Amino acid sequence: MRIGMGYDSHRLKKGRPLMLGGVQIPSPRGEAGHSDGDVLLHAITDAIYGALAEGDIGTHFPPSDPRHKDKPSRFFLSHALDLMESRGLRITNLDCTVILERPRLAPHREAIRASLSALLSLPPDAVSIKAKTKEGLDAAGRGKAIEAFAVLLLEERV
């Protein structure tokens, strides 16, 4: 078994879509990033790379590379999943936390969970999504940024 932990954060910018776990969330502001900025998929991707001791997204897809500008984050996740599968491993469970002041994520939690379940080939009961605020503290707490954490467990495929 191998454990991976991932983290990502982005500034929020007017006019950008807010993507979380492959789901577009209605919001006037979204992630400002080199790709579509989906912090949750980035954190999950980094957790996979971490469990494999393979660095992070920036190691595999440097933000200075214009070929990856505005790519959907599913592209990066797919690469990490392929690497994981090539080593005979699979994800057994995933626990995520998203930190965002607004909009409230509770109405979107099940859609995000279903999206992640499909993307990762996991049963929904193996995917946990939590939403937190920072109660006005730091950039995320002032509504200027979004953060995501992901922890997952890999085990050998049977």
User: pLDDT digit string (tens) for 44-100?
Assistant: 999 999 999 999 999 999 988 888 888 999 999 999 999 999 999 999 999 999 999
Distances in Å between the alpha carbon of 126 and those of 39, 49, 114, 120, 135?
20, 19, 11, 10, 29
Position 63 scores a pLDDT of 86
CATH number of the domain that residue 125 is part of: 3.30.1330.50
Q: 42 labelled as ligand-binding?
A: yes
Q: 34 labelled as ligand-binding?
A: yes
pLDDT band at 2 (very low <50, low <70, confident <90, very high): very high
- Sign (positive or negative) of CA dihedral 13, 10, 149, 89: positive
Q: 10 labelled as ligand-binding?
A: yes
Q: 121 labelled as ligand-binding?
A: no
Q: 9 labelled as ligand-binding?
A: yes
- Residue 124's contacts (CB-CB under 8 Å, 6 or more residues apart) are 113, 114, 117
Position 64 scores a pLDDT of 87
Query: What is the bridge-based pairing of β-strands 127-132 and 89-99?
Result: parallel
Position 34 scores a pLDDT of 82
Angstrom distance (rounded) from CA 33 to CA 30: 9
Query: Which structural domain range is residue 28 located in?
Result: 2-156
How many domains does the chain divide into?
A: 1
Residue 152 has pLDDT above 90, yes or no: yes
User: What single-letter amino acid sits at 141?
Assistant: G
Angstrom distance (rounded) from CA 106 to CA 91: 25
Q: 138 labelled as ligand-binding?
A: no
Residue 158 has pLDDT above 90, yes or no: no
Position 33 scores a pLDDT of 84
> What pLDDT, in 10s, does the model give residues 24-41?
999 999 999 888 999 999
Q: 95 labelled as ligand-binding?
A: no
Taking the alpha carbons at both ends of the chain, their separation in whole angstroms is 13
What pTM did the predictor assign?
0.96
Position 50 scores a pLDDT of 98
> What pLDDT, in 10s, does the model give residues 101-134?
999 999 999 999 999 999 999 999 999 999 999 9
